[in-house]
Structure 1
C-alpha cells in the first residue's frame, strides 16, 4: 500500500527567520480598501499626498456610512453589553463619568461575589440627555460591517487598525483639545460636529512626548463635519471636537504604524544571536577586544539599515500580525475539527499581505506567527487562495486538481487543515463574488 504523501507542515515562526514579504502596496482583487470610504480622492492619491503628512477633509452623500452602524446594531450592542466593561465609557467636559452613573447590577446575579453588571438604559439615556458622550472602544470586534472594513484597511495599509464609536446628543465636547499617538480617519455616520484643527506642536511625537508637544495657540481650520463626510488627522496633530446639537455619531478608525524607532529596536534585537553583542562591557576602559566586537556589530547593523533590511522587518511584522476572531459554529466544532460541506465557501484569513516562496519542491508562506510549508503540488490551490477571493470548496479543489494540484480528496483534506490552523475561514454568509472572480456556480 502506497504511503500517503504529506502535503503540509505547519510550525511556529522562528524569531530570527529572514522573510521576504509582498511588494509595498500589494492589495486584494477589489482595489484599495480606502476607496470604500473616500469619495473625492482615490486611495492611491490619498496615500501619496496626505497619509502621515496632512489633514484631509472628504465629502460625500449623507447616507454613505449608514450601513456601517444602523441604529438597531448600536442598540443591540448596548443591550448585550456585559462582556466588554473596559471598552465603554461615558465622558463629559474632559472627564470620564463613573460607571455607576450608567450601569446597574443584574438582579439575582453575582450573589456572594463580584456583582454582574449591565448597561442601564434609564441611566445611560439620562446621561446622554445631559450632554455626555458615549464612547465605545474597539467596536470593530463587535459590529460585523465595521469589522469587515477594519480588516480590509489593515490588510491594504499594513497597519494595526481599531475603531472607536462616539455618540452624543448635546453641545458639550467629551474632551479638551488633544493629540493622538495614532493616525485617525473619522467617519461621520449621523449628524454633524464642529472640528478645530491646530496642527502639530512637535513633528511626529511619540507616546510620552506630552511636555514637548504643546498645542498651537490658534486653530488653523474650523468647520463642521457633516453626515457622510470623512476627516483624516495624522498622528500628533492637535484637534478639538464639539457636537453642535441633535444626534451625532461618528466612528474613528485608528491606525498604528511602526516608526523608525521600532525598526531600530528590531535591528538591535537581531544582534543577540552574535556573541559580540552578548559579551560584557569592560567597565575599566576601552580595549582592543571591545573595539573588535563593536566593529563586527557596526557591520552587522549597517547591513540591516538598508532597503533589504526594512523589507525583512516589515515581512516579519506582517507575518506575526494576528487576525480578528471569526467563529464558524457549528462546522468548526463538528466532525474532525473543521470538516465542512463541499459547497461551503472559504476565504483567506491572513490579516496582512502574504508572499508565496517557491523553489520547485516546496512552497512556503507565513501568516499569524505560523510557517506553512507545502509540497509544490499544492501551489495551484494556494495561489487561488492568496487572491483573497471566496471559493466554494468543491470548485476550489476541482480547479486546482485540473492544473496538476492535489487530488480532490487531498484538496479537501488540505482545506480542512488550513481551516483548523486559521489560515482560512468559513464565509457563512457570502455575498456576490467579486468582479473578475471565477463563477463558482457556472452560471
Structure 2
C-alpha cells in the first residue's frame, strides 16, 4: 500500500477487541486457536440473559485477554456485516472485481501459530494491517479445485511458491487452490508483538454455477417440469428434452448470466429514516455492483437491485454523480449539474439503490479513503 498509515484507520487490534466485546457473537463466526488447536467456544463465549429473558452469546473478555497475553489467534468472520469501514471496503472491491466479497480478520499474538497448510475454494487478497507474520505459499495439485468437487485435493505439494514476512501495508493475492499457512512461531518466546491481517475473499463464478443457473431457467419450460418416464423410449431417455438443452444454453449465454447475477442482487441493509430527523442532505450508492445506466433520447434507465427505474433524460448528469459509489451532497450535485438532486435522490433511496448518508456511514468512508 502506498500509505501504510491507512492500516491504522481501517482497523487496530484494540478496535477489533472492542467490536468483539460489544457484539453478540457465536461460533463459528468467532473462533480462538491456541498451540495450533481450536479452543472450545465455552472457553471464550458465554450466554448472557437479559432481565427480559433474552439470551445473548457474548465474548468472555477476561479469559480472552489471558489468551491474548499467552499467545493465540483470534478469528472473526464477516466483519463487513457490522463494521462500516469494512463494508465499504468490500463494496469497493466488488465494484472493481464484479465478484462478491467478504472479509475475515485474524489477530495473532506472541509466537502463536496459525492454521496448518490448507487451500481455500475462493481467491483471497490478504492485507497486513499491523505487526508481522511469516507466510508460506505452495502451489496446487488440482487446477481450480472446488468445495463440492469430483476429486479430493488433500495432499499439499512440495513446491514453495513464496515465503516471507508480511508487514503493515503489505498485500498478497493467493489464488483458489494454492496451499498456504501463516505463523508467528518463528518469533521467539520473548517477542511480545502481534499480527493483524484482513482476508478479503472473492467468491468467483464458475462454469458449474452457470450450468446450475441455466437449469433453474429450465423450470419455465413445461417439458422440463414433467416426470422422467423410463417407458417412453427404449433407451430410457426423452429425446425431446435432449434437443432442448442446446437451445437453453444458446438462450442464456454466460454474458447474460453474469449480468443477471449483478442486476438481481437485492438491496443492502441500510438505515431508513424517511426524513424524520431532518431532510435528505446526502446519499451514497450501496448496490453490491455498479448500477447500469442506459440513456436514450427521452429517458435514462437505471438497472440495479433487481429493478429498472426510468428517469427523464435530463437527470443523467445528476444520476452519474449519485451512483458513483462515493458519498455526495445533494446541494453539491444540484449546483454542479443544474438538476434538482433531491427529487432524483429520493427515488433512488426509496427503491433501495442508494442510502441516506448518516454521520455513522460517512465515518466509514473517511476511514477507508
Structure 1 CA distance, aligned partners of 2:72 and 2:327? 43
Given that residues 27 and 41 in structure 2 are in contact (C-alpha distance below 8 angstroms), is that contact kept between their aligned partners in structure 1?
no
- 1:180 Cα offset (Å): 0.8
SS at match of 2:172: strand
CA separation in 1, counterparts of 2:51 and 2:183? 42
Spell out the pairing of 1:18-417 with structure 2 (5 A cutoff): 37=1, 39=2, 63-82=5-24, 86-106=28-48, 109-110=49-50, 115-209=55-149, 211-217=152-158, 219-243=160-184, 244=187, 245=191, 246-284=193-231, 285-286=233-234, 290-304=238-252, 309-322=253-266, 324-327=268-271, 332-335=273-276, 340-341=279-280, 344-376=281-313, 378-397=315-334, 402=338, 408=340, 412-417=342-347
The alignment partner of 1:237 has SS state of coil
TM-score, reference length from structure 1: 0.71
Distance in 1, Cα, partners of 2:47 & 2:153? 44
Shift in Å, 1:233: 0.6
Return closer, same or farther for 1:126/1:302 CA change in 2, 3 Å cut-off.
same
C-alpha displacement at 1:241, in angstroms? Answer: 1.2
Greater strand fraction, Structure 1 or Structure 2? 2
Counterpart Cα distance in 2 of 1:361 and 1:156: 30
Shift of 1:375: 4.5
Report the CA distance between 1:131 and its aligned residue. 2.5
CA deviation map 1:405-435 (0-9, x unaligned):
6xx4xx534422321222112223458x99x
How far the C-alpha of 1:105 sits from its partner, in A, is 4.9
CA 1:165–1:379: 2 relative to 1, 3 Å: same
Q: Which runs of 5+ in 1 are unaligned?
A: 1-36, 40-60, 435-443
| Conserved 8 A contact 1:103-1:123 | no
Partner Cα distance (2:220, 2:146) in 1: 29
| Alignment RMSD (CA, Å) | 3.2
Paired residue total: 355
2:358 to 428, 431, 441: 428
CA pair 214-208 structure 1, distance change in 2 beyond 3 A: farther
Q: 1:213 to 1:323 in 2, by over 3 A?
A: farther
Deviates more, 1:277-286 or 1:260-269: 277-286
User: Residues 141 and 426 from structure 1, CA distance in 2 versus in 1: closer, same or farther, beyond 3 angstroms?
Assistant: same
C-alpha separation in 2, matches of 1:181 and 1:397:
46
Alpha-carbon separation, structure 1, partners of 2:4 and 2:318: 43
Shift of 1:387: 3.4
Offset, 1:206: 0.5
Specify the alignment match of 1:21 in structure 2.
none
TM-score (norm. length: structure 2): 0.83
Structure-2 change in CA distance of 1:348 and 1:281 (3 Å): same
Aligned residue for 2:160, secondary structure, equals coil
Partner of 1:419: 349
Q: Distance in 2 between matches of 1:340 and 1:85?
A: 41
